[in-house]
Amino acid sequence: MVANKIFLSVSVGQCNAAFSNSGHCGAGKDDSKWTSPAESATDGSLELLRKRLSPLQFHVTQEAGTEKAFTGEYYAHFEPGIYSCIVCGASLFGSEAKYDSGSGWPSFHSTFKTKAKSSLNTVQSSAEHMQAQVEEHEGNVITRQDTSHGMRRKEVLCSQCGSHLGHVFEDGPPPTGLRYCINSAALMFNKQT
């Protein structure tokens, strides 16, 4: 428990330092093969997306940015419902998996298990802008290695549109031991009735 708190403090400190220096935690990807969705869009959809999303939502989802800790709409939000991708609407996380990690970002111990209709192969071919090997796929969430800022961590992306969501760490609570640390700006909430 103490080790988890120390790791969390260091992680949040590194992220806040990176945010202060670059404007977000995802800036300056060290992997030269990585291209953001914003850098690779050529069909005009990027401009439509830029008009539809707020500047922060666009920055987070299309440029792998990170919102400042404790500022996001959903970090202290605990209503029953489903958190979905702000870009494509894919269901990502259920409220039953949400918990307060103390990090300042919405945190979940597991993903929403229902997968949208497209398969991982379709996602990989339609989201070639990611140009990095997908490590894991669960529901509508995929992960891949992120070595930015001198750290090794797993980036979390929407499997349906390739949007950056946040990162996942192995310091979460049972039953999974995972902490999906997700930007509020990448999410929309669908209240359960």
- Among 42, 66, 44, smallest CA distance to 56 is for 66
Per-residue pLDDT, averaged over 158-166, amounts to 96
Q: What is the per-residue pLDDT for 117? A: 41
Type of residue at 79: E
State phi, psi for 130 to the nearest 5 degrees.
Answer: -70, -35
Q: Is residue 132 left, alpha or beta, with left meaning phi > 0 and alpha meaning psi from -120 to 50?
A: beta
What is the tens place of the pLDDT at every residue in 20-38?
Answer: 333 333 333 444 444 555 5
CA neighbor of 140 nearest in space, from 90, 177, 88, 82: 90
Q: Which fold has domain 2-191?
A: 2.170.150
Spatial separation of the C-alpha atoms in residues 155 and 88, rounded to whole Å: 18
Q: Quote the pLDDT of residue 137.
A: 79
**Is the Cβ–Cβ distance between 160 and 140 less than 8 Å?**
yes
pLDDT of residue 126: 37
Instruction: Yes or no: say if 78 and 70 are a contact pair by the CB < 8 Å rule.
Output: no
Give the span between the Cα atoms of 145 and 151, in whole angstroms. Answer: 10
- Mean of the pLDDT values across residues 132-143? 79
Is pLDDT larger for residue 57 or for residue 118?
A: 57
The whole-number pLDDT of residue 45 equals: 84
Q: Is the pLDDT of residue 139 over 70?
A: yes
Which residue would you say has higher pLDDT here, 24 or 163?
Answer: 163
Helix (H, G, I), strand (E, B) or coil at 155: strand
Handedness of CA 40, 50, 59, 101 (dihedral sign): negative
DSSP secondary structure string for all residues of 62-96: HH---PPTT-STTTT---SEEEEETTT--EEEEGG
Mean pLDDT of 68-85: 97
Q: Which residue of the set 15, 25, 161, 181 is catalytic?
A: 181
In the chain, where the domains are located: 2-191
Rounded to an integer, the average pLDDT of 81-104 is 97
> For residue 177, what pLDDT band results from cuts at 50, 70 and 90?
very high
Active site residue 88: no
Instruction: Give the DSSP letter of residue 146.
Output: E
CB atoms within 10 A of CB 129: 17
pLDDT at 166: 98
Element of type H or E holding 179: strand 179-182
Residue 127 has pLDDT above 80, yes or no: no
Q: Give the chain's mean pLDDT.
A: 77
pLDDT grade for 12, boundaries at 50, 70 and 90:
very low
Q: Which of 165, 186, 114, 153 shows the shortest CA–CA distance to 11?
A: 153
